[in-house]
Amino acid sequence: MPSEWLPVIWGPDYHFEKAEDAAKITELLMKHWNAVGNALLCLLDGTTDFMPVLFETNEGYSPAND
C-alpha cells in the first residue's frame, strides 16, 4: 500500500514547500505504482510474457545480469 511506502520515500521530517509540488510528485509516483501493478497483473493472468531487457557491452559482456 502506498500509505506504507510513501513515508519511507519522504522520510519522517520531509515537507514540500508548496502543496502543488506534493500533489504533482505524488501523482507521478502513483502513476508509476499503477503501471508496475498492471504489468504484474498481465504476467499473472497470462496475457503477456515477461521479456527482460539485457544490455551488452561492445565486448559481449552483460554487466549486472547474473
- pTM (2 d.p.): 0.59
Find where cell 531487457 sits: 53
- On whether the CB atoms of residues 6 and 22 are closer than 8 A, the answer is no
| pLDDT tens-digit map of 9-63 | 888 788 889 999 989 988 998 999 899 888 888 878 877 777 777 778 888 777 7
Task: Provide the 8-state DSSP code for 64.
Answer: T
